[in-house]
Amino acid sequence: MDTENDIPRHIAIIMDGNGRWANTRGLPRGEGHRVGAESVREAVETCRQIGVDYLTLFAFSSENWNRPKKEINSLMKLLERFLRDKLPEMLQQNVRLHAIGRLDMLPDSCRKEIDQAIKKTRNNTGLNLILALSYGSREEIVDATRNIALKVASGELTPEDIDPALFSDHLYTSQFPDPDLLIRTSGELRISNFLLWQISYSEIVISPKNWPDFRNADLRAAIGEYAQRNRRFGKV
């Protein structure tokens, strides 16, 4: 990684394998999520150190609401604790927090911690940390389409106004550039309803490691692999 172009401006990560990590060790699934939070801390620190501008983490999907209620409650409490404990670090390290998804579905106590962290870090100018919570890309696309349709119906837009740029402006991610690099852990070869529109030209790196085992060296290796890619965007 010798040039500025070797560093992706925006990295998105599907943090998969917490449950499997715990199961292989005979531990409760919640322990996998707890140790996975340490991998989040390392990913944030690594991205901050090397100059990544945006890091989007798939923290809780819209499909995750179908998990056992006990596990969901544990995940929400872990998220609250993570935000509360890491807020001083985010302030010290100039990290700005954002959240995308159908956030109204989250528990009130969780929303309170998210809103507070977003408010307190809004003037930070370093790494933008984006948590995808209660997030599903199909739902995001449906929400964008509905909003555009309402504007057409009201006369604010015409059908001829609709193009890829306008559509992007109605997504949850409208204020962020598209990811340059998508990383998925646990070796699974699927996208899982994550940023389907935004990753059209993202480079994809799959790690066989489960998320709790994915640390600084693994992230740097994925970025090193990205730096070897020739991004043509459809050109020769």
Sheet holding 203-206, edge to edge: 96-100, 128-135, 54-61, 10-14, 181-184, 203-206
Say whether 16 is catalytic: yes
Alpha helices, DSSP H only, in the chain? Answer: 18-23, 29-50, 69-92, 108-121, 137-154, 164-168, 216-227
- Pairing relationship of beta strands 128-135 and 96-100 according to DSSP bridges: parallel
Other beta carbons less than 10 A from residue 92's beta carbon: 9
Helix (H) or strand (E) holding 59: strand 54-61
> Of the listed 23, 53, 64, 169, which one is catalytic?
64
Helix (H) or strand (E) holding 13: strand 10-14
> Of the listed 2, 5, 6, 16, which one is catalytic?
16
CA distance 21 to 34: 11
Dihedral sign for Cα 117, 122, 126, 128, please: positive
Q: What are phi and psi of 57, to 5 degrees?
A: -115, 125
Helix (H) or strand (E) holding 236: none
**Which residues belong to the active site?**
16, 64
